[in-house]
Each structure stands twice: as C-alpha cells, then as structure tokens.
Amino acid sequence: MIVLLIIGQFELADSLYSRGYYDLATVEYQRVLAIGPESLATTQRRLELARAMIRVRPGSGIAALTRLVDEEPGIKPRAHAIIADYFLSVGDYPAAASWLETAGDPDRLGYALLHLHRPDLARAAFETTDDQTLITEIDRFQEEPRRSEVKAMVFSLVCPGAGEMYAGNIRLAATDFLLNAGSWYLLYNALHHKKYVDAGLVISFLVNRFYFGSIHNARRSAAQANEKKYDRWLTAVEREYFKDRKIE
C-alpha cells in the first residue's frame, strides 16, 4: 500500500513537471525520495529530480546530474541530454551544443548548430540521422548567393554609399553619400579660397570620418543583410522541419 502511495506521488511529480510547475515537481520528487524505501531511489528517479531541479536552480541541477554521472558513467548521454535541453529552452545555444556533443543526440545538436549559424557543422550532425530532406535544404541554402563584405567595401571605397546600396541599406547609402558629398564640397571650397588650415580641418574631421565611415558601414550592412537572410531561412526551416519534433 505504501509503495503504491509513493508511486502515486511520483506520478503527481511527473504531472507537475509536464505542466511546467517545476518548483512543485522538485518538492514532490525530493519528498518521495526522502521518505520512500531506498529501492525506489533509482537512477531514473534521481534523473527526474535533477531534471526538475535544473529548471528552478540550474546550478544545483547540473551539479546533481554531474554527481550521478560520476557514480554511474553509463548514464552520461542521458544526463547531458537533460542539461542540453535546459539550455535549449533558454536559448543558450553555445552551451546546449557543448553538452549535446556527448549526449548522443545528433538531431538536437544539429538544431543548436543551426542557431549558432554553423549550417556546415549542422549538416554533418544531420548526416548521422540520414535526414536527407534537411540536408538537401541546407545544401540549397549554402549555394544561394550572399552579399560580399569585400565587394561592399570596395564599392564604397570608389563611391561612398555605393557599398551600402549594394548591401540593400538604401537609407544609409543616401545618408553616407550626402555626408561625403558635403564634406568634399567644403574641402573644395576651402582649397579654392586658399584656406589651407580650413582644408586640413575638413580632411581631419569630415573626410576621414565620413569617407572611412562609409566603408565600415558598407561592410557592416553586408554582414547584417546576410544575417537577416539566414534568420529568415532558419525561421522557415524550424517551421517546416522541426514543428513536429520535440526539441526542448
């Protein structure tokens, strides 16, 4: 009878966890493991407790899982998967990818690597799952043209604002072009009237700043354009390929 009651307590804790009441689930798991027979304090139950703890107190949960791995090395993949799932849920993809390397879960590893903008490494992970549709999608995206940061910088080197225009940032292109045009006009006007001190000031404070600033803006605009394109693609990939997969 007592055993059945304790099993019911475990089911209550599982139910609380599944509904997102992690703090209450942690309390229930701890209560049952504390008062129940030692035979019920199995590795699986301790894993469930640590899984709930990590959602409330991440440091304590990770420490508990680490101790479990030290005691039973065979559960390392499962323990690391629990830690990785937590980091996935909070959007810490670098940490998630690090733990997933030893969790034996290439699907989640590939998902984390996609969020780290490493489709090449994600592709390698998905190859182990033989997910050809997703691999094909990654290959297709990799073959699409990107904005070249070098080209953007060269264009703005020749004509300030041209690189920003190439990168698709029309407003910044117009702003940088006008600022540089104004600076060069002031320089021409100072030289025309033989005001060489003024010309030096214009070169120092306006031409250098706006001219080289335009080159920097061109490179940054190209990088941002590529990043936005990747984020749009990743959103579509998540919706198409991960909507039915339990990632977090």
Assess whether 166 and 201 both reside in one domain.
yes
Whether residue 246 lies inside any domain: the answer is: no
Read off the amino acid at residue 75.
I
Domain that holds residue 140: 105-144
| Chain segment 191-201, per-residue pLDDT in tens | 777 777 767 76
Whether residue 242 lies inside any domain: the answer is: no
| Chain segment 204-215, per-residue pLDDT in tens | 677 778 888 899
Whether residue 182 lies inside any domain: the answer is: yes
Between residues 15 and 217, the one the model is more confident about: 217
Whether residue 244 lies inside any domain: the answer is: no
User: What does the mean pLDDT of the chain come to?
Assistant: 85
Round to whole Å and give the CA distance between 198 and 230: 46
Assess whether 140 and 188 both reside in one domain.
no
The predicted model gives 34-40 an average pLDDT of 59
Whether residue 245 lies inside any domain: the answer is: no
Global confidence as pTM: 0.78
The sign one gets for the Cα dihedral 225, 229, 234, 239 is positive
* HSE of 236, CA atoms in CB hemisphere, 13 A: 10
Say how many domains are in the chain.
3
Whether residue 219 lies inside any domain: the answer is: yes
Whether residue 67 lies inside any domain: the answer is: yes
Name every residue whose Cβ is closer than 8 Å to that of residue 32 and which is 6 or more positions away in sequence: 6, 9, 10, 13, 40, 45
Q: What is the pLDDT of residue 4?
A: 42
DSSP symbol at 38: G
| Chain segment 142-161, per-residue pLDDT in tens | 999 999 999 999 999 999 99
Alpha-helical regions (H) of the chain: 2-18, 22-35, 43-56, 58-71, 76-89, 93-100, 106-115, 119-127, 132-143, 149-158, 162-167, 170-192, 196-202, 208-241
Whether 155 and 163 have beta carbons less than 8 Å apart is answered as yes
Whether residue 218 lies inside any domain: the answer is: yes
